[in-house]
Amino acid sequence: MELNVRQITTDDWDMLVSWWVGHKWPLVDKDGLPENGTGGFIVEENGKPVIAGFLFQTNSKGCWLEFIISDPEYKKDKEVMIEKLVDTAQKVALKLGYKYMLFIGKSNGIRKTMKKLGWTEDPTPSFELMKKI
């Protein structure tokens, strides 16, 4: 298995939308994502895109890794893909001067993998609220 991580491009947009639709997740507009939908990374297995996530930068020492989405038809164990995505995002964030990274999500697989990678989980449930204004 050959893994490659690359920057999201504008050519990836329709594929990402199909992934959100395939998972029955709400669609996110490009302008609600970093760099108008290109501010993130895609992990590919043998040249096939498998998982993607977006790095939201702030004017603090903290950034967010969010909207992690995968190909809904990819049925293999995704833990290795998540690890590669998170590791890449962390390395890029460190190079950009960030000290903290935040993730909010519902996926038990992602949570499990991130805890394995040393992330701390708040045991108190919280709710994600978002409003397009």
Q: Is residue 130 part of a domain?
A: no
- In total, how many domains does the chain have? 1
**Residue 63's domain spans which residues?**
3-116
Q: Is residue 125 part of a domain?
A: no
Q: Which amino acid is at 118?
A: G
- The model's pTM is 0.91
Strand runs labelled E in the chain: 3-7, 40-45, 48-56, 62-70, 100-102
Q: Is residue 128 part of a domain?
A: no
Look at residues 41, 45, 36, 35 and name the one whose alpha carbon lies nearest to residue 80. 45
What's the pLDDT score for residue 68? Answer: 95
User: Digits of tens for pLDDT over the chain (133 positions)?
Assistant: 789 999 999 999 999 999 999 999 988 899 999 999 999 999 999 999 999 999 999 999 999 999 999 999 998 878 999 999 999 999 999 999 999 999 988 888 888 999 999 999 988 878 878 788 8
What's the pLDDT score for residue 82? Answer: 93
CA dist 85 and 75 (Å) reads 17
- Name 84's Cβ contacts closer than 8 Å, sequence gap at least 6: 3, 5, 43
DSSP assignment letter at 70: E
Which domain CATH number covers 27? 3.40.630.30
